[in-house]
Structure 1
């Protein structure tokens, strides 16, 4: 059975470190601690004294001062790793942690998971061909030498960079290495760690290179593991669940995140708030528990993106430069059906086709597989359709040889509605107002990845009001825009009212509009 030696880098909160070490070793696992040499000496003394009698705890033979973006973080990890390899010969895996990490699965589940997955878990993607680095320096991290700390010695850091840049003092990456980058929170098998430590002893040139790269904790282990281990034995992800905000800051978890954390397909989570005492208590008890069944839904990231994205969606009303002189045509009519329930809108559209014979196209700006004619490639992707929307629509008018065309749009496409409404052509809109039942919202959450089959009812209960509010907000934004020729077909309205709305939207007699409004199961989910 797997036995884990945890590699813990920490610099504060000695009481929390002691509790974490006692928790992880109570079930038979090990821990090797490196406590930052620049931190309080009394704090380290407290940790070492309290844990001195625990045979499953060891300390890095040498403590060093650590700084963000420096080689010192890698060096500290190597010191702790060597101590763990020497002192814990029965350890099968080595798992990198920080003081802010906590287990979100039981030790029983964790050991079984590692036994069933004989691989190294480390996020490592190609340095140059991936988009892991979103902004800022990329090649500059490697080809120039960085001796100073960017945060505490800013002038020296950037001054030396500018000197090297002006003098052309670049260097080459070791020829046999393909640089990879990823999260520093990994879990490696013993054989891999032994290979890595041997490589470090033999390849002084590689060590010299990484010592003066910038932020080497994101590239050192990631590159060497890929260099030493067959690709088939590497799982390119971390087993520690962490997320970042739009501003590049780690997301912090609090007491009400317990169910969400347990449902993720990870073994640990980072960062747990120091104030989340109840969450820490519950997670602490969880690691030693036996027989716990975990329902993995793994919706954490998509759920976070959805919830934090509300209210920060960019709006654009101006015309793109390539569309400045574009128009659909003064004599043409574009009829837009707006509905969040796509199945309902498609049913209404099909009935309109049957009654009026007007060409109608479903969600062409939302569904990649919407059937469209070959229009020279402009229709091939959603990105192309949206970017060249007016040109696309003109080509569709021409293809169908018509001056009237109906399309469906999602309420989220407010910028498209503004754009088409500002055109010289006649634009009419029909909102289909449907009831938003809990069953429908749950299905929507499943389809959009906000929830899964194993999502708890408690999580859904908190999530559904947010989704409902989001959908209603989209409609409110459209209504607030006060578009001309705007009508509404309502699930709760009578046939006559809906027939009148359809008549105005389609410009057809009310008896023909009534044929559509009377359609059986028109609003069924």
Structure 2
């Protein structure tokens, strides 16, 4: 049993020389193709580094480009050299210059000897391929691709759209069923020679010259015509990200590569000295002869892809900024927003902290400063209470606060006087619990003792801001858990809403309300609202609050006089 290796190289030639020498020194014939774009000087250096090994050959050089026929042409040229010059090679293994053997060649020989005549090549029909990118699966065989996807992307896309509009379809050669799969395979000598010498080879080559990414379909399709002994899997470990780009293995992937039990891995970082030193040694000869099973590490790669595409909920960073429309979590943990409670009750954050166990802040987005719990001026993660710094990016301020304090549930007060950007954010956050008393903004205006005529415009503006914010809370797209009461309804029966609030927060199961927060003195508040109405401002968000007692003495509205 003698295994020959074809190597397609375009960079990292020093590492390719190491791997080629490793295989050649252990009795394996090697045929190397070097991309024509590689300089003559670099090519001569590679040839000189491998000089003296009788079982290494170099094939005709092609200028290779991803997704084009040139990669297949280079492979066919190298395969012809292998078949013609090494008649004792029973199997041919296709690898790249960035591949690295993970197990000793003796183990590969023994594995293939136990499965005589079997061809290891991933080969599945287009209907069964889940990994194609860009929407081109069966169309890669039906359309023509005269332009390079990488160098002429606009022309490539225009050509595809035009052919689709015209309904153009290429004729697939009779008897050929297109299959796809990994570029990296291990074929028996008989199968590879049958492909090279197939009587319809010229017809097949003409067809695949117009196929997109033919290196993933040429051998995968023709192998079905030349043999019925196909095991549709690759012996090479090759992992790809969600964009179809190969994962690169580094030194810290050493144990991961060992666990896969595969014979070869790509793509290895050229400076991974530890990997090359470990696997290009004979110590691997005594290691496990287990069945190659890349599925052992699939869970790790799936998790990596999920982390790359979805990130971690609530973590905002330069390397992976969440996409608001598609990512599930805007923040990393649950938090509570109290709207209007600070206006209605005295020292409400202290009561909330005692009763619910929350870390209760004041108005984090207040106009003067961020009112952190316990009067702190700098909070977790070096967050400053400066309103200017906070409002530079209010959303980032909130998400950072929640991220920095994960493990401890936060709460804060919010109202129409606060930074609007935050109020447009948390209604659409799954982690937000919002309890709102509408119209409570009128209480501080009432307690200020200012004339109603001076307050009217401010009251109208606060009501407008809160009304717009309520539209967000009641939006069909809102994801927060929202409870809204009008001020009139809440004052009429405050215990029931407070108990609902405690039950919803749920920090302490079965907790009953034993201490109510202290409500502000609202004697005369109803008359104040009536005075607002008399001035032409309708406080409809307050609800239907009866007039009640008359208000304390207020400066009378100045009488208008007509000057003649």
Relative to the length of structure 2, the TM-score reads 0.54
- Distance in 2 separating the partners of 1:177 and 1:483: 67
Aligned counterpart, 2:504: 484
Coordinate RMSD, CA, aligned: 3.1
Shift of 1:100: 0.9
Aligned counterpart, 1:139: 138
Q: Secondary structure at the match of 1:290?
A: helix
Does residue 271 in structure 1 map to residue 267 in structure 2?
Answer: yes
- Distance in 2 separating the partners of 1:56 and 1:205: 33
Aligned counterpart, 1:175: 174
Aligned counterpart, 1:261: 257
Map residues 19-34 of structure 1 onto 2, 5 A cutoff.
19-34=18-33
Does residue 301 in structure 1 map to residue 314 in structure 2?
Answer: no
Shift of 1:13: 2.6
Aligned counterpart, 2:111: 113
2:104/2:284 contact within 8 Å kept: yes
- Distance in 1 separating the partners of 2:244 and 2:272: 22
After superposition, the C-alpha distances for 1:112-150 in whole angstroms (9 at most, x for unaligned) are 111112311111111134323244222331112223322
After superposition, the C-alpha distances for 1:146-193 in whole angstroms (9 at most, x for unaligned) are 233221233543454455445544222123111111110111111111
After superposition, the C-alpha distances for 1:200-242 in whole angstroms (9 at most, x for unaligned) are x533222111011111011111111122221xx2111111111
- Distance in 2 separating the partners of 1:316 and 1:278: 39
Q: Secondary structure at the match of 2:241?
A: coil
Relative to the length of structure 1, the TM-score reads 0.58
Count of aligned positions? 334
- Distance in 1 separating the partners of 2:502 and 2:249: 41
2:145/2:212 contact within 8 Å kept: yes
Structure 1 pair 81–482 and aligned structure 2 pair: CA distance change class (3 A): farther
1:8/1:33 contact within 8 Å kept: yes
Structure 1 pair 416–85 and aligned structure 2 pair: CA distance change class (3 A): farther
Shift of 1:306: 2.6
2:148/2:156 contact within 8 Å kept: yes
Aligned counterpart, 2:231: 235
Q: Secondary structure at the match of 2:103?
A: coil
- Distance in 2 separating the partners of 1:305 and 1:168: 38
Map residues 158-173 of structure 1 onto 2, 5 A cutoff.
158-173=157-172
After superposition, the C-alpha distances for 1:29-81 in whole angstroms (9 at most, x for unaligned) are 11111101121111112222332421110111x21111110000000000000
1:263/1:295 contact within 8 Å kept: no
Q: Which has the larger radius of gyration?
A: 2
After superposition, the C-alpha distances for 1:426-480 in whole angstroms (9 at most, x for unaligned) are xxxxxxxxxxxxxxxxxxxxxxxxxxxxxxxxxxxxxxxxxxxxxxxxxxxxxxx
1:421/1:483 contact within 8 Å kept: no
- Distance in 1 separating the partners of 2:431 and 2:114: 50
- Distance in 1 separating the partners of 2:91 and 2:287: 22
1:132/1:182 contact within 8 Å kept: no
Aligned counterpart, 1:95: 93
- Distance in 2 separating the partners of 1:279 and 1:94: 24
Aligned counterpart, 1:83: 81
Structure 1 pair 258–176 and aligned structure 2 pair: CA distance change class (3 A): same
Structure 1 pair 423–6 and aligned structure 2 pair: CA distance change class (3 A): same
- Distance in 1 separating the partners of 2:67 and 2:211: 9
Unaligned runs of 5+ in 2: 314-326, 331-428, 434-477, 484-500, 513-564
Structure 1 pair 206–483 and aligned structure 2 pair: CA distance change class (3 A): farther
Aligned counterpart, 1:36: 35
Map residues 61-80 of structure 1 onto 2, 5 A cutoff.
62-80=60-78
Does residue 245 in structure 1 map to residue 244 in structure 2?
Answer: no
Structure 1 pair 278–170 and aligned structure 2 pair: CA distance change class (3 A): same
Aligned counterpart, 2:353: none
Q: 1:315 aligns with which of 288, 306, 328?
A: 328
